[in-house]
Each structure stands twice: as C-alpha cells, then as structure tokens.
Chain A
Amino acid sequence: MVDSLVFIASILPRLLEGLLTTLYLGSLSFLMGLMLAIIMTPLRSFMKGIIPLIIRGYIEIFRGTPLLVQIFIIYFGLPSIGMKFDPLTAGMLALGLNSAAYQAEILRSSIKSIPESQFLSAESLGMSSPQIYKYVILPQALRVAIPALVNEFVTIIKESSLVSVIGVVELTRKGEYIVAFTFRALETYLAVALVYFIVCTAFSQILRLIEKRTKIPGFEAGMR
C-alpha cells in the first residue's frame, strides 16, 4: 500500500505534464466549438433556405457517429485528399468540430428559452437581426447555457483521452508510457483517473462561481 502511494507520488509530475496538454487541447477545442456554435446557431434558427439544412445535417452527423471514428477520419482519412495534420491539430479539430455540434444544440435550446417579447422589443427599436442576436439574445442565452456549457467542457476533458490513440501525449497517453516502462497498470491508471476526477470536479465547482458572477441582478424576483 505504502509502496503504491510512493509510486503514484513519483509519477504525478509526469502525469501533470500530460494534464497540461489535456487542458490545452480541451480548452482550445471547447473554444473552437463555442465559436462555431455561436456562428451556426443564428444561421440555423433565423435563416431560411439551404443553410439551416446544412447546419442541421452537420449537427446530426457529428452527434450520430462515434468521436473515435471522427478522429480516425480526420487523422488517417483526410491525408488521402491532401489534408494532413499533426496529431495535436487533428485531435483538436476532431474534438472541436464534435463539440460544436453539441454546443450548437445547447445554444439553440437556450435561445428558445428567451421570451418572444425580447425579440419584439428589440425589433421595435429598429435593431437589425444581427444586432438583436449580438446585443439582446446571445448575452441572455449564454447565461442560460452556462451550466450545460461547463458540462460540455468537462465532457471534452474526459473525451480528449481518445486522442491518445493517434499519439497525442496527453494525460492518458502519459499513463500508457509509464505503464510501458513500469508494468504497474493498476496504480498508474488509478492515478490517471484520479487526476481527471479532480480536474472535472474542480470545473463543476468553478461553474457555481461563474453562475454567481454572471447572474442577472434581480433575476429570482423576475417574472420569467
């Protein structure tokens, strides 16, 4: 037991190096997903014609296929049509594009929760649709979406372990290296799991802080 604890303590610094990559990868993928979702959602909700259909197709495809397969397509498949990425970029692209689909759904349902009267009021003032989205709807929808978005971030952190299979040296891959050298799989993977657990729990706690800070004053007393 003591031996195991000493072992885990000894590998922690190396795991933390992997964690840095995980966090870097997770944050960039999340932000990429968020940007894409912010662009796609109004196009899907407020436009007519072919564009909403294309976006809907995108969302369905990325939500209806395994992330691991998406990673393989981007890393192993795309080079055959001349698009070659290093493992980290391919991993980030896969996670980001996948997350965009989920975040777009989160944003869409948040926008639906904004009362129609907010649109009417903004329209009555002469605002254009992009202005209404930017100044009135998005800031309120993002507040509604915060819990679901933080959840999505935590999901990305966990799912980013999948990119270890294409050779990105993140937390899980670091663990694999350590096992290869030491053959102590149980302690190593338990330690890896523990690091994921601490990070994910911490973010769930940070969520409460964010919610507090972005709360609309007087909101509980409101009539929505």
Chain B
Amino acid sequence: MKEVLKVENLVAGYKDSTVLRGISFNVHEGEKVVIMGPSGSGKSTLLKCIIRLVEPWEGEIFLGSIKVTDPKIDIRKVRMRTGFVFQSYNLFPHMTVIRNVSLPLEVVKKIPKDKALSKALEVLRLVGMEEFVDKYPLELSGGQQQRVAIARALAMDPLILLLDEPTSALDPELREEVLLTLEKIAKQGKSMLIVTHEVDFAEDVASRVLIIDSGTILEEGEPWKLFHKPLKERTRRFLKTVMRRKGLL
C-alpha cells in the first residue's frame, strides 16, 4: 500500500519550549490512524506541523510524494491536498453553510462556481447537512457545525483528513452524530489521522493507535491490543484515566 503521509524525526515547539521531540510514523492509503495522549503531549502541534501551521524545527514530512518540509515549497499546495478539521470547527460565520464549503473550491482549487456548488452539496449530503445549506454556522448546533467543517475538508478531495479532537468541544449527545459521520467517511476508504480521546471510536475505526506523551511516541499498535494489553505502564495509566472519564471502567 502507498504511503500518504510520512513523518520522520519531527521536532517542533513554540519559542523556547520544545513540544515534539523526534516523532516518526506513517499513514498508508486508506488507513485510519488515531493519536491519543494526555493534554499538552503535543498531539495538536503534530497535526499542525503536517500543514505547517506550526513550523517544524527538525525532521521531515512527506505528503504523498510532496516534501512538506522543503523550505522552497508553496505550502498552499500541501494545504489544498489535506483536509484539516479543528476542535472548534472554525467555520466562516458570515457565509452560509454551502458557501463555507464551496468558497475554498472556487478560490483555492479554481473550480467554476456551479461545479463548486454541486460538489459542496454532494459532500453536505454525505454528512447529512443538505437541509441546512442556506443556514449560517452560528444558527447551527456544535455537532452540525462540525459536520459542515468535515464536509468543507472533505470537499477538497484531500489525500488525508487531519482531525484535531473533532468531538472534544461537543456535548455527549452531539458527539455521537459527529462520530457516526466520521465512521461513514472512514468506511469510504479515506485516509485519516485523528487526534481524539474517543476510545470506542478508535476501537471501531482505527487501523492503528499512537499514544503520544511528552512529545514522543510512547507506544503504538492495533487498537484492541493496545487498549487491552498495553506494553508500558505509562500507557496503561493514561488509558485508565481516559476510560474512567468515559465510564468504561
């Protein structure tokens, strides 16, 4: 299987504090990789480094055959081939739902307006938001906004979807609708890299789980194995807190 994402020895941080201390992993085509870890462990920073919203200090990142960390590269070319979903949705509040999805297609991908609109409608249908096309983001619930954000990322036909705690800002009942949407997309074979604390979701969807702690990969493996027979004590303690919080233990 082809690699869609390869991260090698990534080191990054903010000003004088190092957050990521040499992370290496890859994602193959169609694979769903879940990243878990305590807060402050560098999960979000890692995701942001992949599209250089945070500049990597050392190491290399490849998206397909594109070298993301090449200083001469036009980073927009990378960003238009990845779909990034933020924890707090970050839709554009002054645009309707459909415009939120179709605008990037028009201005970034240079797709003609009518085609952009029909593509937008298609992905909004996929996430079950086709009835809300003329609404504005702030008229929607958090779960609905997140589904639009997923549609917006998906519309760009990304090589990989990067999801940064897509359900953390949501109430439990709204979380479910977003997770179901993500499962549906996962089944369609999209490559995904997901930062989340949702153990059930990881078990159902992920092909691999990476546990990150203090900027390094603590442990990785298939979800069932990792959740039930972690090799390291630190992993076991972390998983215990996550599961207790979810009422699974």
A residues near B (Cβ < 8 Å) are 117-118, 120-128, 131, 135-136, 139-140, 143, 216-219, 221-222, 224
List chain A residues, Cβ under 8 A from B107: 127, 131, 135
B residues near A (Cβ < 8 Å) are 51, 53, 76-80, 82, 84, 86, 88, 90-94, 103-104, 107-108, 135-140, 152, 156
20 A–B contacts from the bound complex (CB under 8 Å): A117-B86, A122-B92, A123-B53, A123-B79, A124-B79, A124-B86, A125-B104, A125-B152, A125-B156, A127-B76, A127-B104, A127-B107, A131-B108, A140-B93, A216-B94, A216-B138, A218-B137, A218-B138, A219-B93, A221-B138
List chain B residues, Cβ under 8 A from A143: 94
Q: Number of contacts between A and B (CB, 8 Å)? A: 74
Secondary structure of the A contact surface, majority rule: helix
Q: Which residue of A lies closest to B137 (CB)?
A: A218
For A126, A127, A219, which residue has the most chain B Cβ atoms within 10 angstroms? A126
Q: How far is the CA of A117 from the CA of B48 in the complex (A)?
A: 13
Q: How far is the CA of A140 from the CA of B137 in the complex (A)?
A: 14
Q: Which residue of B lies closest to A218 (CB)?
A: B138
Q: How far is the CA of A109 from the CA of B91 in the complex (A)?
A: 22
Q: Which residue of A lies closest to B47 (CB)?
A: A124
Q: Which residue of A lies closest to B164 (CB)?
A: A124
A41 to chain B, nearest CB (A): 18
List chain A residues, Cβ under 8 A from B156: 125-126
Q: How far is the CA of A121 from the CA of B91 in the complex (A)?
A: 7
Q: How far is the CA of A122 from the CA of B84 in the complex (A)?
A: 10
Q: How far is the CA of A118 from the CA of B94 in the complex (A)?
A: 11
Q: Which residue of B lies closest to A139 (CB)?
A: B94
A123 to chain B, nearest CB (A): 6
Task: Assess A222 versus B88: contact at CB under 8 Å? Given A125-B156, A126-B108, A216-B93.
Answer: no
Q: How far is the CA of A118 from the CA of B137 in the complex (A)?
A: 13
List chain B residues, Cβ under 8 A from A125: 79-80, 84, 104, 108, 152, 156
From B77, B92, B108, B136, A121 is in contact (CB under 8 Å) with B92
List chain B residues, Cβ under 8 A from A126: 76-80, 104, 108, 156
